[in-house]
Amino acid sequence: MPPIRVRFKLLRLLTTLLASMAVVVASAQEYDPNGSLTFATNADPTLNPWNASAVIESNLINTILFDQLVRYDPTDLRPAPGLAESWETAADGLSWTFHLRQDATWSDGEKFTADDVVFTFNEAILVKELGANRASTFTPVDRVVKVDDYTVVFELNRPFSSLPYYLAYYSGMLPEHVLKGAENPLMVASFNKGQPVVTGPYRVGEFVSGAYVKLVPNENYWGPKPKLASITFNIIPDGNAQVAQLLAGGLDMVSITNPALLAGVSRNPDLEVVRQSQNIWYFVALNLDDERFQDARVRQALLSAIDRQAMIEAVLEGYGVEATGPIAPLLQAFYETDVAHWPYDPEGAKALLAEAGWTPGADGILQKDGQRLSIDMPTGQFGYLVPATLLVQGYWEDIGVEVKVETIEWNAFIQKAVVNRDYDAMLAWWSTPPTPDQSGYFASSAAVTGNNIPNYRNPELDALWEQGRAATTLDEQIAVYRQVQEIIAQELPYLFLWYPDMISVRNTRIGGMQDINSAANFQYSFDWYVKP
Amino acid sequence: MTSYILRRLVLGAVVLWLVSVVTFFLIHLAPGGPSSAVSFERTAEEREALLKQFGLDEPVVVRYGKWLLSAVQGDLGVSYNQGLPVALLLKQRLPNTLTLGLAALVTATVLGILLGTVAAVNRNGWLDHVVSTITTLGMSIPGFWLGIVAIILFAVELRWLPASGIVSSGKAGDLVDRLKHLAMPAGVLAFTLMPNVVRVTRSALLEVSRADFVRTARGKGLAPGTVLFKHAFKNALVPVLAVLGLVTTALFSGSVVIESVFGWPGLGRLAIEAANGRDYPVILGATLLAGLVVVVVNLLVDLLYAAVDPRIRHE
> Would you list the DSSP string of B266-292?
SHHHHHHHHHHTT-HHHHHHHHHHHHH
Q: How confident is the model at residue B246 (pLDDT cuts 50, 70, 90)?
A: confident
| Closest residue to B169, CB basis, from A193, A232, A411 | A232
pLDDT at A480: 96
Q: Hey, how many other C-beta atoms are within 10 angstroms of the C-beta on A109? A: 9
pLDDT at B16 over 70: yes
Q: How far is B172 from chain A (nearest CA, A)?
A: 9
Q: Which residue of B has its CA nearest to A432?
A: B41
Q: How far is B80 from chain A (nearest CA, A)?
A: 8
**Residue A136 contacts B, CB cutoff 8 Å:** yes
B interface test, pick of A39, A42, A53, A233 with most B CB neighbours within 10 Å: A53
Average the pLDDT over A77-82 and give the result: 94
Rounded CA gap, B207 and B203, in Å?
6
Contact B156 A132 (CB under 8 A): no
pLDDT tens, residue by residue, B127-160 = 999 999 999 998 899 888 899 899 889 988 888 9
Contact B49 A130 (CB under 8 A): yes
Average the pLDDT over B225-252 and give the result: 79
pLDDT at B170 over 80: no
Contact A245 B163 (CB under 8 A): yes
pLDDT at A27 over 70: no
- Dihedral over alpha carbons B40, B45, B50, B55 (to 10 degrees): 130
Rounded CA gap, A254 and A272, in Å?
11
pLDDT at A6: 41
Rounded CA gap, B17 and B22, in Å?
9
Q: Hey, how many other C-beta atoms are within 10 angstroms of the C-beta on B282? A: 27
**Residue A414 contacts B, CB cutoff 8 Å:** yes
Average the pLDDT over B70-83 and give the result: 92
CA angle A372, A377, A383 (to 5 degrees): 160
Residue A300's identity, in one-letter code, is Q
**B274 to chain A: which residues are within 8 Å by CB?**
none
With a threshold of 0.95, tell me whether the complex ipTM lies above it.
no
> Cα Rg for chain A, rounded, in angstroms?
26
**B35 to chain A: which residues are within 8 Å by CB?**
53, 411
Widest Cα–Cα separation across chain B? 85
CB-CB contact of A234 with A39 (8 Å) = yes
Contact A237 B269 (CB under 8 A): yes
Q: How confident is the model at residue A1 (pLDDT cuts 50, 70, 90)?
A: very low
Rounded CA gap, A156 and A98, in Å?
14
pLDDT at A207 over 70: yes
Residue A426's identity, in one-letter code, is M
Contact A245 B148 (CB under 8 A): no
CB-CB contact of A267 with A249 (8 Å) = no
Q: Which helix (H) or strand (E) holds A456?
A: none
Q: Hey, how many other C-beta atoms are within 10 angstroms of the C-beta on A146? A: 16
Q: How many angstroms from the chain centroid is the CA of residue A417?
A: 22
| Closest residue to B43, CB basis, from A51, A234, A449 | A449
pLDDT at A308 over 90: yes
Q: Hey, how many other C-beta atoms are within 10 angstroms of the C-beta on A274? A: 17
pLDDT at A23: 45
Widest Cα–Cα separation across chain A? 98
> By C-alpha distance, which of A309, A300, A288, A397 is closest to A349?
A300
pLDDT tens, residue by residue, A360-412 = 999 999 999 989 999 999 999 998 999 999 999 999 999 999 999 999 999 99
Q: Which residues of B98-124 are buried (b: 16+ CB within 10 A; e: fewer)?
A: bbbbebbbebbbebbbebbbbbbbeee
| Closest residue to B164, CB basis, from A209, A236, A412 | A236
Enumerate residues 6+ apart whose C-beta is below 8 A from B56: B33, B34, B37, B63
